[in-house]
Every structure is written in C-alpha cells, then in structure tokens.
Chains A and B, each alone.
Chain A
Amino acid sequence: MKVSFFAKATTGLGNVFNMIASAALVAMMLLTCADVFMRYVFSKPILGTYDLVSLMGAVVASFAMPYTMLKKGHVAVEILIQCLSKRKQLIIETLTHLLGLALFVVLIWQAILLARDMKAAGEVTPTLFLPFYPIVYCMAICFFGLCLAILANLLEIWTKREK
C-alpha cells in the first residue's frame, strides 16, 4: 500500500517536472525562431536570446531527469547481465541502484554549495545579467527528484520479484 503510494507520488512528480521541461523546450524553440525572424526581417535581434536559451536548455535537461529515469530512458548495457540467474541480477541491480542514489545525493549536496557560491559571487549571464544561482538550485531539486525516481525503480524491481 505504502509502496504504491510512493510510486504514484514519484510518477506524479516526474510528470509535473517533465511538463516544465517540455514548456522550456517549446519556449526555447519559439524564442530562437523569433530571434532569427527579427534579425533578418527587421535587423533587430532579440537581446539576451543566447542567455535565455542556454538557461532554458538547463531547465529541459534538469527537469526531465526524474521522468527519464522512471521511463528507463537511459542507455545501459544489458546484454551480459541477462545471462545471469534471476537472483544474481537482483543483487547486481540493487547495488547499481544504490550506487546511483549515492552519486546523486552527492550531486544534490554539491549543487546547493555551488548555488550558494554563485549567489555570493554574484555570477550573472553575459547580456541580461540574470543570476545563475536559481537554475543551480533547480538542478538540486531535480537531482532530488531523480533520487526518488531511482528509489521507485528499485522498489519496482523488488515488488515484481515477490509476485
């Protein structure tokens, strides 16, 4: 019961985050096209397109992380592990999921530190002077979402086994 609630909540979160990523992708496309149009038709490029598109790119990749993990969208080499017994597969997959979890917990921690440093140093984008640090905080939140997704996948492997 609790497990399925966690899985549902994580899936919901992954979907909401992915909608943000999708919106950023569409915005990125529209802004870039508008910039090209303004540049060639009115010789008035939109100021700061470069800054905004870069930041939106970061939003797309970050906010898609939990969803991509839940959909098992990452490239992995499965050929050899498929030859092992079910039990060995389970052990290895549990270990790799825990390793992944450890990796991204480290990244959450470091992203928060980096965001703090950037805020303190006042780092901003080249043309619009937008601060970088909010995006890095967003990355930390997305890494957290990714950790939840890894946990959800691990739970799924275990519950499937019991069936």
Chain B
Amino acid sequence: MIDPIHVGIIGVVLLVALLFSKFPVAFCMALVGLLGFGYLVSPAAALNIIIKDFYTVFSSYGLTVVPLFVFMGQILFHTGISRKLYDAAFVWFGHYKGGLAMATVGACACFSAISGSTNATAATMASVALPEMKRLKYRDDLATGTVAAGGSLGILIPPSVIFIVYGIMTEQSIGKLFMAGILPGILLSMLFILTIYTWVSLKPDIAPRVENQGLKKKIKALAGLIEVLLLFILVMGGLFIGIFTPTEAGAIGALGGLLIPLVTGQLSWGGFVDALYSSTRTTCMILMIVAGATVFGHFLAVSTIPNTLSGWVVGLPLPHWGIMLVIMFFFLIGGFFMDALGMILLTIPIFYPVAIAIGYDPIWFGVVIVLVTELGVITPPVGINVYVVNGIARDVPLEVIFKGTFPFVLTLVTYLVIMVIFPQIALFLPSFVAH
C-alpha cells in the first residue's frame, strides 16, 4: 500500500489538472474526493460518504443563510440599486480629481455589501460604470483597472458569501466574520480612492474634471438610497446584537428587499422572477461547491496531509509571519486562476489547521485569505477579474487593463502588510459581537 500522503498528493495534482480542463470546480472536488477516499479507505465507504456529504450540506440549516442573502442581493440588484448607488456616488464624488473612478470604487464597496462574488461585482459594475467613464473621456487603463480592482471588494464587505461559507466550514461565528470584514473593507475602499487620487494627481490628463453637482442634487441622490440603507442597518444590526440568527437576518433582508420596491413600484414581475431564478442558480452553485469541498476535505483528512503539513510547517525554522507569508503565496497563486469562493473552500482544509496551529486568530485569518485572494484576482498576468472586465469591455486590450490594475495591486500589497502588523483592524469590531 502506498503511503496515504502520496495518495493525497496525487489527488491534489489530479484535482489541479481537472480544474484546468474547465470541469466545474464542485465536480472536480467531489470526484477526486470520491476516488481518493475510495482508494484509501474502501470503495463502499467512499460511496456512502459522498452521498451523505451532499445530503448533509444541502439540508444544513446553517447554509440556508446562503440562498436568503443571495436572494436579498438579487432583489436589490433588480430594483436597479447598482445604478442608483453609482449615480449617488457620482453626484457626491464626481467633481474631485478622478472622481468618476472614485465613485466607481464607492459604488463597488456598497454593491459588494449585497454580492458575494468578485467576478459578479466586477461584471455588474463594469456594465454600469465603464460606459460613463468612457463618455467622460477617462483613459481606458484607469477606467477598467478601477472596475476590476473595485470588484474584488465584493467578498470583503458583508454580507459576504465567502465569510458565510468560511464560517460554516471552520465553525466560526458568521456574525463575527461579517463584523470583521467591515472595517478592513471600508479602509481598503478608502485606500483605493487614495490610489486613484494620487494617480490622477500625477497624470491629470487621464481623468477630465466634471463640474460640482450642487448640494440639492446630492441630497436627492441619497434620498433614493435611504430605504436600502435602513434595511442594511436592520439586518446587520439585528445579526450583530444577536436578535436574529444569520438565516433569520437573511430572510428578513430578502422580505424587506421585496417590500420596499412593492411600495415604491420599482420591481416588475419579470424582475422578481429573474431575481428568484438567479438566486436558486447561485445557491445551487455555491452549495455544490461546498458539498464537493466537504467530500474532498474528507479525502484529505484520511490522507493525513493537513496534519502532516501543519506539523511540518509549525516545525519550520521560520518566524510565524514567515509561515503566514508562505500560506499567502499559495492563495495568491490560486487567485490567479479561480474565483475566490472555489479557491478558499479548496484550501481551507489544508491551510486552516496550519494557521490555527501557529496561533493565528481564525477570524483574522479569514479576512486575510480573502484579501490575498482579492489580490490574486487582479494581479498580472493572470488575474481572473481582469478577464471578466475584458469580457465586457471587448475593445480594451488585456495589457491595458493589467496596466490599470497595477497601482491597485501595489496598494493591496501594502495593505496586507498593514493587516499582518495590525490584526486589530479586523479584530476590533468583532470583539463587540454578542455571540
């Protein structure tokens, strides 16, 4: 019999090969997990465990939070919230240097509060913001770089599907994770805005100025967003104080999201059905990935890779931050090729025990791997968000978009260093959460 660790390594290699053949991430993990577990334990046990994993994940009460938050986001999206957010951000920031790009980051930050995917946020904001920036003659690299980078905010600011899934897999409080994402998310948005400001200050011709819109328009733009803001406060507040469970918060958010446009008449029947169908589709996609990752995790566990690796890493003659750097490097590479969710789920069984073994806080680790994956999705030459934006802005060559994301990459790297030195940025707010 081959050493279980070798089987595990073969499994990981096979998984990577399958991943690159356009086989859905969820299916890859389930299949390799099934085969590996079957080889190491017994085929009968593997067959038994794969269906039990699918069944347990699908019928898990904890995961019902996913469809509900996704539904809330979809309803808000179909009431035209992304457009309204963008317009409001434009009215408020448009007249500053590079203001339209700043508005895009602001709108991404807010939209990301309702979306859990880097790709989806980038795609959504690309279709809203790019035509506007083009109209006002912003240079292509600034415009597309901003959208790709801003889109990566989607997974940091709550409600984030990544945090939900991370919380369930590592048995951490989702409320705490959400709370942990707020401050780093706001700070990162501000740093992105600062990046744009510096860039435009150095090269004023890439972003022509727009005239100030006046206070009246500013207040009017905000008025349209008040209901949504209140809903957000109700849902998140209730969750943080401990009045609602995450599932309940999601349900109330979705119902509230439905009631607001019913009163204001902004949601058509068609929009409602679209929102519903996108939600079931996204839910299915997410739960299949979670189920696949669970099967794969079981295989990894019997291969003893996570234990051996964490034992080995802990024994490395490196300081703890050095080990963390090695882990971050893996996430960075992964982010090149994959959407954040698949990437993080795939690697949690391997790296989470390591991070905990060397004494890092599980909540902080969640925030940091999200940040590193964000970096991965926009880093040249392979960041996947750039390809998403390229798919929408067909006329802008890839090199130009990568040139555009580069300043943001620098910002993110700096920010990561800050996060490692000052973990309090992520841990300050969660320390107040009730449960």
Q: Which residues of A contact B (CB under 8 A)?
A: 18, 21-22, 25-26, 28-30, 32-33, 35-36, 40, 50, 53-58, 60-65, 67-68, 71, 73-81, 92-93, 95-96, 99-100, 103, 106-107, 110-111, 113-114, 132, 135-136, 139
Contacts and interface: CB of A to CB of B under 8 A. Distances in A.
Contacts, number: 177
Interface stretch (B46-54, B95-103, B222-230): B46-54
A79 B251 contact: no
Contact of B51 (A74, A92, A114): A114
A70 to B, nearest CB: 10
A68 B21 contact: no
A108 B243 CA distance: 40
A24 to B, nearest CB: 9
Report, nearest first, the 8 A-B pairs whose CB atoms are least far apart: A32-B251, A74-B24, A64-B284, A110-B51, A64-B280, A58-B59, A57-B64, A96-B23
B60 interface: yes
B251 A28 contact: yes
A103 B280 contact: no
5 contacts: A22-B273, A29-B68, A75-B26, A99-B18, A111-B54
Majority DSSP secondary structure for residues of A touching B: helix
Interface string B239-253: 000011001101110
Given A99-B23, A113-B51, 20 more contacts: A25-B283, A28-B68, A33-B251, A50-B61, A57-B64, A58-B59, A60-B67, A61-B287, A63-B280, A67-B281, A74-B25, A74-B27, A75-B339, A76-B22, A77-B19, A77-B25, A93-B22, A100-B24, A111-B54, A136-B55
A73 B281 contact: yes
Contact of B67 (A25, A55, A103): A25
Contact of A74 (B247, B273, B285): B285
A72 B286 CA distance: 13
B132 to A, nearest CB: 29
Nearest to B247: A32
Contact of B277 (A18, A74, A76, A136): A18
B321 interface: no
B282 interface: yes
A18 B281 CA distance: 8
A110 B47 CA distance: 7
A113 B52 CA distance: 11
A78 B388 CA distance: 11
Given A96-B23, A139-B54, A57 B281 contact: no
Interface string B16-57: 001111111111001100100000000000011011101101
B288 to A, nearest CB: 7
A75 B253 CA distance: 26
A42 B113 CA distance: 32
B148 to A, nearest CB: 15
A68 B61 contact: no
A96 B71 contact: no
A157 to B, nearest CB: 11
B281 A64 contact: yes
B280 A67 contact: yes
A22 B252 contact: no
Contacts of B341: 75
